Structure 1
């Protein structure tokens, strides 16, 4: 049984200076691992906001730092405390949404501290609102603060992943979809990839290079409206476990970067038996 799953990067429109959250907005939460000040960290954020931020009506960032009671040696909480932090998060989100019309944009955990981040149009009484929510958790120490952040620097420069990590996040989304449909990751199948170039000569040189890596050239599509109109459709037999997909995709992505080309996604079939 084989069904086709397509994953192509859409050309996202960037809507800045939005007064209200557009109807097209859909939350898109995901997480990734990194380091914050040389300490292992996990960052979770709403990727769906990247199409619309910064919102001019929400120019203030608010943070709440909650200190873990018994962090592990790596600075992360034990399982039971992870659950408790989830309850704290729900209370803070409900309180700040209600009292300040704040929007929850992300969270980090590192070095024994869980940080929650919001953007709001109003910061009047924000400390009292946070204190009201945290009063339900008297055994947790916390700090809070706010700053004007019209360009949403906190979101884009601190929480948002770099380009490579964003690519891996997209890969994981597709792999989760495959798994949900019963895909057998260990089974090899044809996986197609697309890359777009500014010049035909760059496309041909790239094609020769990746053919030596086991990729076959399946087509040369043209996107006349795009800034990089000369496409290359590649295929290779690969598995759909995370390591295999990341290895193939990141190799093509990095090679594309070297010639200022654009890696544009991949497509495969579900192999369920």
Structure 2
């Protein structure tokens, strides 16, 4: 069985071309993922280290360095053309490695929109940061760029620009579970029983939710009161037969997530079995 709550805790690097800073066993390694949102009908691509905000280093490195790179060749939606991606990856890796070496900076993510790509680093030391950026980017003279450094003790850039919303996080977690099923040999074509778990603040909220989703074909497997769960002690275990390709299960999951919020509940993921 594979649960959303278990899979989403795994530290996976899901994007090829992202180079994590090489560190010793005591240093923050990162939990990288990516997502896409749309602003003014155009895509925004975000790659982020989901664990940085809760890491010990986040408490120490309170200056943000933002490098903005103007992408040379973009599609009509503002995203880089495929032929430019390898060069952009080289720039990204070069910045991450060099700033780690000279400023002990942690690379926390990137933000791509409208032909621009912003790289975010956090560090205690910002001395000569412009020269350090120039050292890397002088090898890529066809690109124009700007850089800024400022105090960010509250991690505002990381939390408000890079870090996903709860809904975006749900999309990402669904993709992780589906990818894991695929890697284990599941063709993702056969419908099968999928079980879901939701927790509520009140028993009445749980009952109202259960009545609503039963109209959509969900079956209540179990309802109980979880010991040790303070804010949402009323649990609900439901199931339905569904497809588990990403588009199908993502619609189901988001429906349950949004419906649970209406009744002060928290959707806690789904599980199923591999069908080969």
Post-superposition Cα deviations, 1:208-257, rounded to whole Å, max 9, x if no partner, equal 21111100100113222112111000000011111111111111111110
Unaligned 5+ segments in structure 2 are 10-23
Matches within 5 A, 1:171-190: 171-190=174-193
* Aligned counterpart in structure 1 of residue 245 of structure 2, from 223, 241, 244: 241
1:201 aligns with 2:198: no
Alignment TM-score, normalising by the size of structure 1: 0.90
User: 1:1-273 maps to which residues of 2 (within 5 A)?
Assistant: 4-8=1-5, 25-35=28-38, 39-52=42-55, 55-226=58-229, 227-272=231-276
The range that moved more, 43-52 or 263-272, is: 43-52
Distance 1:267 1:261 in 2: 18
Report the Cα offset of residue 87 of structure 1.
0.4
- Compared with structure 1, are the counterparts of its residues 153 and 10 closer, same or farther at alpha carbon in structure 2 (3 Å cutoff)? farther
Tell me the SS of whatever aligns to 1:231: strand
Q: CA deviation at 1:108?
A: 1.3
- Secondary structure in 1 aligned to 2:273? strand
Contact 1:216/1:236 (<8 A) preserved = yes
Moved over 6 A (4+): 9-12
Unaligned runs of 5+ in 1: 13-20
CA RMSD of aligned residues (A): 2.1
Aligned partners of 1:24 and 1:147: how far apart in 2? 24
Q: Distance in 2 between matches of 1:22 and 1:204?
A: 47
Deviations 1:189-221 (A, max 9, x none): 110000111122221221121111100100113
SS for the counterpart of 2:59 is: coil
In 1, Cα distance between the equivalents of 2:183 and 2:122?
34
* 1:121-145 Cα shifts (integer Å, max 9, x gaps): 0001111110101111111111111
2:168 and 2:46 map into 1 onto residues whose CA distance is 12
Hey, what's the Cα distance between the residues in 1 that align with 2:267 and 2:166? 11
Q: Report how far residue 26 of structure 1 moved.
A: 4.5
**Whole-Å Cα distance in 2 between the matches of residues 78 and 151 of structure 1?**
35
Q: Contact conserved, 1:54 with 1:150, CA < 8 A, in 2?
A: no
Q: Alignment partner of 1:270: what SS?
A: coil
How far did 1:68 drift? 1.4
